[in-house]
Structure 1
Amino acid sequence: MLDQLLPRLEGLAAQFVFSQLSPNLLNDYQSLVQELDSRFRVIETPRSFASKFSRRSQRHGETLEEYAAELKQLYDKAHGWRDRRTRDEDLVRKFLDGLSGDDVKFEVEFNKEPRNIDEAVYFAVNLIEIRGSNRAERRNRYNARRTEHDDYDSTVADEEENTFAIKGADPNTTPSRVKNEDESNSEASTIKELLARIEKLEAERNTPQKRNFKKDVTCFRCQQKGHYARECPNQEQKNAFNRTADEKQKPLNGKGPALAAKGRSM
């Protein structure tokens, strides 16, 4: 027994045994165990277990089952005299408060309302598994869409490379560069056409337009179209005729009415 105990002593226990105890105790197994218990044994009480229970929470990497099992042990050692209903309520409350995920805690506490710690563990485990499967499914769909998109892009790129891989082509010319040049040329030609149309419209607007208003006009003298009455050629002929008649009707003396007869007073 001593051959197995002494080589396994480490730290403060080894320092205590080999430096502070008498050599005679090293040969007595029972006395050595009593000295070690009196010096290093931790005395556990219900209060110490209650303190551990109140400070206990889920550790990183610890499963829900392991966390719940240790809570049960600590509670039974700290409050073994309490009734079952109180025990279930205290364990459920402590289990939910110590969970590392707040979303799981909220879902189980307000939507599931477990009656004991076993139900709380069951609901929490199922919820985590469902969320994990949904997350994996969304990740798979995203990866599938991304793979399809990459395949499409690679196919289009290969087709463009094959199209422009002609003899004598410029090695610095890329499909995207050629496409941009074509678009620039198309835009330049469009702008040029628009400018030409604008110049044409401005020239037409600035040029006075001669409108032939007389083609539909009817002269009220001769009843012919194409001129007004003041421009009627028949009117000129009539005026000439009137002047000839007036000349014929002039008095003989050419200065007024005929002279009165001699011997008569006026």
Structure 2
Amino acid sequence: MSTLKDVRKKLASLEEELRKTKEATDGRTSQVLVIPQERKVRVFSGVEGSLLVGDFIDDIKAATKLRKVKGAEAADFIMAHLEGPARQEIRHHPKDVSTNPQQILNTLSETFGEKLTLAGVLREICNRLQKEDETITDFGFALMSLGDKLKKMAGGPDSDKTIKEQFRDGLLDGVLRREVKRCLMEEPNITFIKLRDRALDLADDDFVTRRRRQGRKINSYHTEVDSQILGALEGLTTALKGQTETLDDMKLRQDDFSARLLRLEEQSKTKPRPRTDKSQIECHRCHKKGHYANQCPAPAPVQRPAQGN
């Protein structure tokens, strides 16, 4: 009987505690904890055509920062996301590299990153022309990106001047190219941004269209000829004039391209090799140093005829 009373007392105590708890939590808003989803890291192999090393490094830095891992734990995390040639590359390095996350990323960047050379960047700039479906703004951005690469190369020409010249020669419209060339002649120190904006202003004002129409006008002759013949003559004259203008423009463009490419190649030539120090050369005739055998001042040895038996 006493046991039942004890159970009832405990039950009453628990009910009272539950009631007080409910009263204390009435009117309070419940808090919802949102656990952020972990960033997925793609596996890097270093194989051509797969994930770029720069994108992999960005993913790794974001993931390790989110997980708050450092040191050897971060190094193990990176190694877990390497495979193929990339994993083999790190495994063959000393322990001070394979256990240091920053050293691992630096090694991957140096080994599998883009290899840039001065000649390659200059060739890429010279071959960059405005595409048929490309706007002037996009063409300008592409050249600025190549200009940033050129700035990183030692011994290269002036980056801003190089992309300005290519912008002038790479525009599709011949009339706009001539206007940009005239602008460069009048203001040789103009920045690339201002030159691009000048070209955009000309294009927005329909300047190119007006100049084209003016260039296609022909002189009117007061002759009493059939209207059909006159129309045919006008069409033929316009076509010939357009072809002549196109050929002249192509020749001018080719001459400028060849001259600039030759100038850039001359600037990127390496220094000549130092001459050989003759003071360390031994003559095979007199066995003295300082000259070759064909320059030896000593008389040539007399060869005696072979004696028969």
**Is TM (by shorter chain) over 0.5?**
no
Larger radius of gyration: 1
Structure with bigger RCO (C-alpha 8 Å, 6+ apart): 2
TM-score (norm 2): 0.31
TM-score (norm 1): 0.34
